[in-house]
Structure 1
Amino acid sequence: MNVLVWFRRDLRAFDHPALAAAGAMGPVLPVFVIEPDFWTQADRSGRQWAFLRETLLDLRGQLRGQLLVRQGAAVTVLAGLCRKHRIRRIVTMADAAWPGGCDVAEWARGAGVEWLELPQGADAGQGALNFVADLAPGPIPDARSLGMVDDRCPHRQAGGRAAGQALLDGFLTHRSQGYQQAETHALLSERASSRLSPHLAWGSLSAREVALAAAERQVAANHGDWAAGLRLFQSRLALRDQSPVVPMTGQGAAHDLDAFAAGETGLPFVDAVLRYFQATGWLNHRLRALLVSIALHHLRINPTLAGQALARLSTDYDPTIHSREMQRVALARPLHPLPLAARLDPTGSFTRRWLPELAHLPDDALQQPWKSPLARPLLGRRYPEPLVDPNQALRRAGARKGATHRRPDFTLIECPRQLALPL
């Protein structure tokens, strides 16, 4: 009996319970469906698709060229393939955040097709795969072919399992020794963080295999910063799950949205973080929390619009994690960007790197250029005036939440136990 495997956000051949189960049942038809309407939604971007496209190309190689890629509504595509290849069973991994699952399940019941969704973390055996004969894999289009706008991300991470494995090995072997220190220094975050979140979000690596690899390395690293970094990483990794997405809603305006998304708030450290995000598609969890807090509490941007703007910048966009982080920061006390800049960028190196127009300013003027005579020729010309006074905005935000803020509380952006954040 031919079996169709519907790939969604589990784009690997290794440690894939649905693929292993299907392979034990008969010849396999592996399929990924591109739904164009989904990829033109407001939270989707060209950088996300570029990473995913590379991951699909890599997966096709893992499957000996036999991954079918089709465009259209999932129900229409899967129904057509089932008719053509006489398929009576579809196997996939459960994914509450991926669209179309309910529609496909309803169609399958009516069409007499068995629909089997395996839970994340199910046992995955190993065995030889046989593929349905005479498959036509089809092209994997670029973002422009899908009608997506140009999205420059010059330092975007590469997609695909091979890239993910190299990243994991480099982290466990070397970079994890600085994992704890990267928490408190913006320039260190890229080098010492795992940066595995895009590969976990799209499933080119499984959370289980990453956890096992980290545990094996932990045996060798039984002391010092290396062991402490690996322990922290493992605790973060254990928080990932497949909870339903809770949309972020609330009051707010849109008038500062474009300036925020462009990194032109006039708050230097915030703008430096936004420009870094634009160029790389990745941020650690502390810096993401800062951006959410500035957007929601200081600028009072509509939460839905702010969430969509930040999602578009994220190569590792995971709707579940993104939604929970937005909710958490919305309910927390507002963050003050100036003390955070002093804590995370004490020398100003990160800010100067991403805001070269301010690089010549002395340290005491770098984060508050509106107070320095040296910056007056720049403001409103090469660098924008601040959209808000951060002190006044913090007081207003505190008043709205019915709280008094004598000082910023940095611990608000620590990782709570119920939340899985970028690694």
Structure 2
Amino acid sequence: MKPACVQLVWFKRDLRVEDHRPLAEAAARGPVIPLYIFEPSIITAPDFDRLHYTFIKESLDELGQALCEKGAPLVIRVGEATAVLEKLRHQHNITHLWSHMETGNDLTFKRDRAVAAWCSHQGVEWTEFRQHGVERGKVNRDGWQSRWNALMNQPEATVPLTIRGIKELGNDPIPDFQTLGITEQLAAVHRRETDLTGGTSQAHQWLDSFLSGRGKNYSKELSSPTTAYTSCSRMSPYLAWGCISMKTLYQAMVRKRDEVRATPAKQRGNLISLASLKAFDARLHWHCHFIQKLETEPAIEFQCFHASCEALRRPGANHARLEAWMSAQTGYPFVDACMRALQTRGWINFRMRAMLVSFAAYDLWIDWRDLKTVLARQFIDYEPGIHYSQLQMQSGTTGINTLRMYNPIKQGADHDPQGSWIRHWIPELNHVPDEFIHTPWDAPLLNTGTYPQPIVDHKQAIAEAREKFKSLRQSSEHKDEAARVYQTHGSRKRPARKNTRTSTTPR
């Protein structure tokens, strides 16, 4: 006999039990089936990598254990969402589907529309809750920040200690990546050595160590790859895959800020600084601000924010340069070192991500669409809304932001003056003297072996890029379209000072 009124909780990018409102609401209404689906159309897509699968699997291992302890084992299925849901509906009297809203790529958007149609046809009610500060529907950016603050200060959702599950359903094993048909883009190039392990417990370990002192100098050290791995929060993958909620993270930051403020300045010692907490708080807001752009305008996955920017670059036009950039063979040591670090570790700090994209976009004149899947598969914290927004911002195609043209030589000199970072990742240059480590081509009679000469002249490439954008931005049509982009997507906070840089997600 089918159990009455079964509640189906669909886990997607929310792999946790704490502060999980769909699970809490479902548990209050009847027997619960917690479900995770490995969808072939998504996990074999060009933007998915074994790196993501490994983090998801680690998170599911912990999630499954937590749900078992509560009495509702996690059901794992392989198949397209509507087919999996239909089969479960035949086996159980599913009356309600619960989930968090997801702002993903075009595949997940179409999948969600198909699920909505299936629910309507089968008479299954589908309730979605906001996971971040992202809003659906026609969003007025005026007041968005205050609405974000109001949401994040609400109490966390409380999931009961015990949940009524379905007895005949066991805790399913997780298929391996070969069985699922997942490929690893860089398996033959670099071995993955990430220190970021999936799961809520890992999220809290990183967060606790950051707030208890590791992030003391965050505001000063987040920009350099030599210090960012230690000083940054490293929370971005845990937010991207939902191992921890934004609300949990934000409220922990607020509690720590209150503690620091209540401590006399002379007694703060190794406490995280208020400046670092302020910088971290800003990035929590920016995280949702950028995802909101994709939610509001899904077309930015494929089209430039600003229509006139479509004429700037042609996708697929600079394949040889793209290959050199991807394989860390541009001839610019700091750029190539950062690319190798990213490919090996699956994470690098925001400024270096911005530099990598800026170099590809302005120096190599590569279209941002040629970069999107390449980088998505490198980032363990791949979040589509941030990803597409930032690719376009660093490529100059938003039409409303300052052109961010990073000088790779200056960036290297600023953040790796002695070249230790470069030598670690590019051992071919170990013999290069410090004075030439950022410009080995300037060293007289120096043999750099297999390491290439610069692929382009930076000064010349940037001058040409500036001229192209100058011509584009002078037209009245460009200004009219820029006004539309700002009205739809622009931050309503006070503009940043000239030449400042902004990050997008907790790093």
Structure 1 residue 248 displacement after superposition: 4.6
Aligned pairs for 1:364-379 (under 5 A) are 364-375=435-446, 377-378=447-448
Structure 1 residue 411 displacement after superposition: 6.5
Aligned twin of 2:66: 62
Structure 1 residue 30 displacement after superposition: 0.4
Q: Does 1:271 align with 2:298?
A: no
Q: Does 1:226 align with 2:273?
A: yes
Structure 1 residue 156 displacement after superposition: 4.3
Q: Does 1:173 align with 2:212?
A: yes
Aligned twin of 2:51: 47
Distance 2:342 2:131 in 1: 30
Ranges in structure 2 where 5+ consecutive residues have no aligned partner: 133-150, 304-309, 397-402, 472-496
Aligned twin of 2:159: 126
Q: Does 1:421 align with 2:505?
A: yes
Letter in 2 for 1:277: L
Aligned pairs for 1:81-120 (under 5 A) are 81-97=88-104, 99=108, 100-120=111-131
Distance 1:342 1:411 in 2: 22
Structure 1 residue 172 displacement after superposition: 0.7
Distance 2:504 2:436 in 1: 36
Contact (CA 8 Å) 1:13, 1:19: kept in 2 or not?
Answer: yes
Deviates more, 1:203-212 or 1:359-368: 359-368
Q: Does 1:236 align with 2:283?
A: yes
Q: Does 1:283 align with 2:333?
A: no
Aligned pairs for 1:203-222 (under 5 A) are 203-222=242-261
Q: Which runs of 4+ in 1 moved over 6 A?
A: none
Deviation track 1:112-131 (CA, whole Å, cap 9, x = no partner) reads 11111112257623323111
Contact (CA 8 Å) 1:176, 1:229: kept in 2 or not?
Answer: yes
Distance 2:442 2:180 in 1: 47
Aligned pairs for 1:155-170 (under 5 A) are 155-170=194-209
Deviates more, 1:327-336 or 1:195-204: 327-336
Question: What secondary structure is seen at the aligned counterpart in 2 of 1:238?
Answer: helix
TM-score (norm 1): 0.92
Letter in 1 for 2:169: L
Distance 1:14 1:374, change over 3 A: farther
Contact (CA 8 Å) 2:96, 2:125: kept in 1 or not?
Answer: yes
Aligned twin of 2:461: 393
Distance 1:397 1:264 in 2: 22
Structure 1 residue 414 displacement after superposition: 1.2
Deviation track 1:220-276 (CA, whole Å, cap 9, x = no partner) reads 223576221112111211233242242154534222222211211111000011011
Give the counterpart of 2:175 among 101, 124, 141. Answer: 141
Structure 1 residue 422 displacement after superposition: 4.2
TM-score (norm 2): 0.77
Distance 2:498 2:62 in 1: 40
Distance 2:176 2:102 in 1: 25
Structure 1 residue 339 displacement after superposition: 1.3
Contact (CA 8 Å) 2:36, 2:75: kept in 1 or not?
Answer: yes
Deviation track 1:306-360 (CA, whole Å, cap 9, x = no partner) reads 1211111000000000111111112224222111212222222211221121122
Letter in 1 for 2:43: W
Distance 2:500 2:51 in 1: 26
Give the counterpart of 1:35 among 39, 43, 47. Answer: 39
Q: Does 1:347 align with 2:418?
A: yes
Contact (CA 8 Å) 1:18, 1:91: kept in 2 or not?
Answer: yes
Structure 1 residue 47 displacement after superposition: 0.6
Structure 1 residue 303 displacement after superposition: 1.6
Deviation track 1:344-393 (CA, whole Å, cap 9, x = no partner) reads 22222211221121122112211111221353x22xx4212221111221
Give the counterpart of 1:3 among 7, 21, 36. Answer: 7
Please tell me the root mean square deviation across aligned C-alpha atoms, in Å. Answer: 2.0
Structure 1 residue 412 displacement after superposition: 4.9
Letter in 2 for 1:57: D
Letter in 2 for 1:12: R
Deviates more, 1:181-190 or 1:49-58: 181-190
Q: Does 1:293 align with 2:358?
A: yes
Question: What secondary structure is seen at the aligned counterpart in 2 of 1:117?
Answer: strand
Aligned twin of 2:26: 22
Question: What secondary structure is seen at the aligned counterpart in 2 of 1:88?
Answer: strand
Deviation track 1:203-231 (CA, whole Å, cap 9, x = no partner) reads 00111111111111112223576221112
Letter in 2 for 1:83: H
Contact (CA 8 Å) 2:23, 2:159: kept in 1 or not?
Answer: no
Contact (CA 8 Å) 1:181, 1:188: kept in 2 or not?
Answer: no
Contact (CA 8 Å) 1:265, 1:271: kept in 2 or not?
Answer: yes
Distance 2:221 2:38 in 1: 37
Structure 1 residue 135 displacement after superposition: 0.6
Structure 1 residue 138 displacement after superposition: 2.5
Distance 1:349 1:315 in 2: 25
Distance 1:320 1:282 in 2: 17
Deviates more, 1:163-172 or 1:298-307: 298-307
Contact (CA 8 Å) 1:156, 1:281: kept in 2 or not?
Answer: no
Deviation track 1:394-420 (CA, whole Å, cap 9, x = no partner) reads 1121121128xxxxxx965611xxx73
Letter in 1 for 2:325: F
Question: What secondary structure is seen at the aligned counterpart in 2 of 1:420?
Answer: coil
Question: What secondary structure is seen at the aligned counterpart in 2 of 1:115?
Answer: strand
Deviation track 1:16-36 (CA, whole Å, cap 9, x = no partner) reads 010000000111100011111
Question: What secondary structure is seen at the aligned counterpart in 2 of 1:105?
Answer: helix
Contact (CA 8 Å) 2:337, 2:425: kept in 1 or not?
Answer: yes
Question: What secondary structure is seen at the aligned counterpart in 1 of 2:131?
Answer: coil
Distance 2:453 2:48 in 1: 30
Structure 1 residue 77 displacement after superposition: 0.4
Question: What secondary structure is seen at the aligned counterpart in 2 of 1:279?
Answer: helix
Distance 2:11 2:223 in 1: 38
Structure 1 residue 281 displacement after superposition: 0.8
Deviation track 1:277-303 (CA, whole Å, cap 9, x = no partner) reads 011111111111101111111112232
Letter in 1 for 2:275: A
Letter in 2 for 1:206: S
